Amino acid sequence: MLQVSDLKKNFGGLPAVGGVSFEVPAGSVTALIGPNGAGKSTLINCLTGVLPADGGSVRFAGEELVGKPAHAIARCGVARTFQNLRLFPRLSVLENVLCGLTPQAGDSFLGALLRLPRLRNRERRLMLQAMEAIDQFELTAQASFPVSVLPYGDRKRVELARAFVGKPQLVLLDEPVAGLNHAETARIATQVRRLQSQGHTMLLVEHDMDLVMNVADQVVVLDSGRCIARGTPAEIRRNPLVLEAYLGRMSVTA
């Protein structure tokens, strides 16, 4: 579904992503792992148009994504979450999730001003869709609360709900359990597994190896902007290059 080939991104001559290629098959979960500074977040940002890529190609469902602005990529059906939450703190949980349905809500400014019956019906439908997502992510009791009062773990789930509410074809999850405690991590892991069993295609960037090994169908390992390994979780666990990147040369030879 997603084919990344030879993707490059430099920051002032320093290659943050230096020619990475991999593929995300439809209906599978691909995990992207690597030590800090390996270029995982940069890669995600290039895929979603937050940062312009310097070279290479990203094909998604037959379309080229490199060169498209972020909003156009989102409208192709690519949703994402952010490593450091990017919610709208003043809006309620429901409103935040509804924001995930902006493309479905229509773009007509005049129509919005006049609030014609057609639009009103559509709004009602979207509201139900948003409430359904809120329900699935176990946020029903907090639906009307402003996001700023929620604990961090709940906010992470709000962002997931916002990403999934529009039924995107591909979701990029940038460290969904970073900074969460054990119970909250388990809760998110359950959600990710549920989404996986529903056939969602996901690209998961994560440091939490338990989660990665549990849910990923395929693991791609980045180190210093390069792809050093690719395979099933079991293969990756045994790969000496991966151990080296993560633990350092000494630990492997010792």
Partner 1 sequence: MTGREKILYFIYFHRTGLTVLLLSLLLGLFPLLQDNPYILGLSNLVAIYTIVVLGLNLFIGYAGQISLGNAAFFGLGAYGSAILTTDYGFWPWPTMALVAAGVALVALVVGLPALRLSGHYLVMATLGFNIVVYTVFIQWDTLTGGPSGFSGIPYLSVFGWEVDSDIKLHYLVWTFAMICLTLSLNLVRSGVGRGMAAVAGDETAAAALGVNTRVAKVKVFVFSAVLASLAGSLYAHCFSFVNPDTFGIFASVDFVIMVVVGGMGSIWGSLFGATIMTWMPEFIDVFETYKEVIHGLILVVILLFLPQGLVTGLVDAARKRFALSRGRHAAGQ
**Contacting residues toward partner 1, per CB under 8 A:** 48-50, 69-71, 74-75, 79-80, 82, 86-91, 95, 98-109, 111-115, 119, 123, 126, 141-142, 144-146, 148-149, 162
- Rounded to a whole number of angstroms, the minimum distance from the CB of residue 13 to partner 1 is 25
> CA-to-CA distance for 170 and 44, rounded, in angstroms?
12
- Rounded to a whole number of angstroms, the minimum distance from the CB of residue 51 to partner 1 is 10
Q: Which is nearer to partner 1, 15 or 106 (CB)?
A: 106
- Rounded to a whole number of angstroms, the minimum distance from the CB of residue 129 to partner 1 is 12
| Site of tokens 């909250």 | 184
- Rounded to a whole number of angstroms, the minimum distance from the CB of residue 102 to partner 1 is 5
Q: Which is nearer to partner 1, 24 or 74 (CB)?
A: 74
Q: CA dist 139 to 48, 94, 181, 220, 228, Å?
A: 27, 9, 18, 32, 39
Q: CA dist 55 to 10, 11, 240, Å?
A: 9, 13, 30
> What phi, psi does 222 have (nearest 5°)?
-105, 145
- Rounded to a whole number of angstroms, the minimum distance from the CB of residue 123 to partner 1 is 7
User: 7 is written with which tokens?
Assistant: 């993707």
Q: Which is nearer to partner 1, 26 or 114 (CB)?
A: 114
Give the DSSP letter of residue 36. Answer: T
Q: Which is nearer to partner 1, 5 or 104 (CB)?
A: 104
